[in-house]
Structure 1
Amino acid sequence: MESIGVVVNPIAGMGGRVGLKGTDGVFEEARRRGAEPRAPDRAREALGALHRRAPEVAVYTAAGEMGAAAAREAGYEPTVVSDPGDAAVGETTAADTRAAVREFLDRGVDLVLFVGGDGTAVDVAEVLEESEGETPMLGVPAGVKIYSSVFGVTPADAGRIAAEFDRVESREVNDIDEEAYREGEVRAELRAVVPVPVASDVQSGKQLSSGSVDTLAEGFARDVDPETTYVFGPGSTVGAIEAELGIDPSPLGVDVWRDGEVLARDASEEEILSVVRDPAVIVVSPIGGQGFVFGRGNHQISPDVIRRAADVEVVASGQKLDGIGALRVDTDDADLDERLRGWMHVRTGRFTTRLVKVV
């Protein structure tokens, strides 16, 4: 690879930890709740991994936090081809992303590396399709919802793949309606099919189907400890457990419960930390087809929340596990990710568990 175009959506993922399940259309609310930018750090991590393997590659990028700042910190002297002007974080737009990608294509880059979530992936993919060329794209995961199969598993994986790939394959770009998502409904739509580097560390698209979890929920409810605080992650599997306990779950949010009392519903990171009492157990289910237990759709369960917990209990039907193979974590904290890796017991039924490796 001789050249790469890099574009960053600076606000991607900001709504996650503060409980907004995304940032589309709610940036000011996210900022009011104290959200901090996430994408710039992940851009630096990806570009650092790229620079260690391909320091000589020519980098084209947008100005400031849309790419140039991270590229320079990684050791590159990028060529800035697009400038949104004096726009601060939160004031750049999808049009700025699209303009940058068009400039990359005009310069014949070998890959477009973007930092964001599914919405950013759609913006990049639609420009690529307009060009009717075959330039591949690859995502550095920074958004809350990651349903598309065009992202590296981690930022470092994306940087490594960008430096080393030698062939591409067609993959899907999907997006969901964030407003409906915040109300607990998933409406996914295929938006594009694009060329993406072939690598084992490009994540799969999210599978929306699920198997029966009735016996799993019954078994979990039978074993709850009234002296333990439970932090219930999003998703239908964990939601079935909550329903068994008499809780009205927030389907795509995080609930905190102890001894028959809901301490927080659809909680942000700050709200979780304010009500959790020791001992605490985090209950999560992996994303179907991808295997993520942390770092996709549940950013409210932050590194601080995970460290506060005495245990993490992963629950999933055997059918879901059959389609995964391994579990994954991407918490924004490399030391914590490493600590979480290894073999983990996953509860699959009333009495049954299965050993699955966190990779």
Structure 2
Amino acid sequence: MLRLGFVVNPIAGMGGRVGLKGTDGLFEEARDRGAEPRAPDRAGEAIAAFLDRAPESVIVTAGAPMGADVIRAAGGDPTVVYRPDGDELSETTAADTRAAVEAFLDEGVDLICFVGGDGTAVDVATVLDRRGGETPMLGVPAGVKIYSAVFGVTPADAGRVAASFDDVERREVNDIDEEAYRQGEVRTELKAVVPVPVTRAVQSGKQLARGTVETLASGYARDIEDDRTYVFGPGGTVGAIEAELGIDASPLGVDVWRGGSLLARDADESTIRSTMGEPATVVVSPIGGQGFVFGRGNHQLSPAVLERAAEIDVVASDEKLDALDVLRVDVDDEDLAASLRGWMEVRTGRFTTRLVKVV
């Protein structure tokens, strides 16, 4: 019988929609900006999928708000082996995550499933390494930053993998410097190499695509409509389009532009919605190596924003698409996700496009 250790970082991902690009050390600011917890809902999706496939499994967890409440709400009967000092979101810490994992290992779990982002992955991996590094780990994506190769593609995928894996391989845990990230610079550091369940539902690590995007950028800029609002997502490909338009872009943020004027730079969800106007086009590029169009690093482009957009333009070089089998979306709205899935036209050059499947 499978013994699962399940821990939730309840504040993971709160900084995304409000434009903080992370929540490390910024919980109070995120809350003051109106951020709502997203990790508990994603934890619920994962544990529901797990229980559907492995209802007889033993689940050990931490007390609320770090797991037990979510599991019970999904119909499970967890064994609580660690309790954080407080029951408020702001009172949980990385030390609680590490202590919970220690307790899971003392219980002899077969897999540790955690809900969070790269920072939480580092916390889990640190304990595993100290305790011999043989127990596999699997992440439920909930953080703003997902640069490690240990996460399920979606929360439900992670739950299904946790319930049915039969092999593991060693994969990288990476973390990113949030302060540098907020200044538009990506600095990742390899923190650990850990065993992870192996299936196609576990995403690959981020790979950097190579190749020019100049023709794509110039072609897209040529077709800009002055009476349309453009919401430019993060990343180098979209940034090249903004540079072609003379925009002082935020490299890792979301910018709103219309008729030659930058309406908002590095905008949060609320600012995007208040400035996007009609008609509006959201312009994004998939993450190289992973294929995510929404749900990784661009949480400001929330379901509410996407539903207001008249168009969604996906842009990518042929080199980037050659390295991807499909594109992926991971949004907190199943109806929206369903509407995005299928075949999508991706602009690849001055005049060229490709049809790519979105799953």
TM-score (norm 2): 0.99
Mean Cα displacement is larger for which, 199-208 or 232-241? Answer: 199-208
Question: How far does residue 297 in structure 1 lie from its aligned partner after superposition?
Answer: 0.2
1:192-203 pair list within 5 angstroms = 192-203=192-203
% identical equivalent positions: 72
Instruction: Give 1:15's aligned amino acid.
Output: G
Q: Deviations over 1:259-283 (max 9, x none)?
A: 1011111000000000111110000
Counterpart mapping for 1:1-359 below 5 A:
1-359=1-359
Measured after TM superposition, the shift of residue 134 of structure 1 is 1.1
Displacement of 1:148 in angstroms is 0.5
Aligned AA for 1:93?
T
Is contact 2:17–2:302 with CA below 8 Å preserved after alignment? Answer: yes
User: CA separation in 1, counterparts of 2:207 and 2:37?
Assistant: 28
Which amino acid letter does the alignment assign opposite residue 232 of structure 2?
Answer: F
Structure 1: 5+ residue stretches without partners: none
Q: Deviation of residue 86 (structure 1)?
A: 2.2
Question: Quick one: which amino acid aligns to residue 78 of structure 1?
Answer: P
Q: Distance in 1 between matches of 2:221 and 2:193?
A: 42
| Cα distance in structure 2, aligned partners of 1:27 and 1:286 | 28
Greater than 3 Å deviation, 4+ residue runs: none
1:90 Cα offset (Å):
2.1
Stretch of structure 1 that moved more, 200-209 or 223-232: 200-209
Following the alignment from structure 1 to structure 2, what is the Cα–Cα distance between the partners of residues 245 and 105? 54
Residue deviations 1:283-336 (CA, integer Å, cap 9, x gap): 000000000000000000000000000110000111111111210000111111
C-alpha deviation, 1:133, in angstroms: 4.1
| RMSD value, Cα | 0.8
Q: Find the aligned partners of 1:263 and 1:29 in 2 and give their Cα distance.
A: 23
Contact in 1 for aligned 2:174/2:192 (Cα 8 Å) = yes
Distance 1:265 1:103 in 2: 45
Instruction: Give the count of matched residue pairs.
Output: 359
The letter of the residue matching 2:118 is: D
Q: CA deviation at 1:209?
A: 4.2
Q: Distance in 2 between matches of 1:91 and 1:127?
A: 21
Q: Residue type matched to 2:55 in 1?
A: P
Change (3 A) 1:245 1:97: same
Tell me how far 1:26 sits from its aligned partner.
1.1
Contact 2:61 2:100 in 1 (8 A): yes
3-state DSSP class of the match of 1:31?
A: helix
Q: Which moved more, 1:292-301 or 1:82-91?
A: 82-91
Deviations 1:233-274 (A, max 9, x none): 000110010010010110000000001011111000000000
Distance in 1 of aligned mates of 2:224 and 2:74: 47
Cα distance in 1, alignment partners of residues 304 and 116 from structure 2: 23
Structure 2, unpaired ranges of 5+: none
Deviation for aligned residue 1:208:
3.0
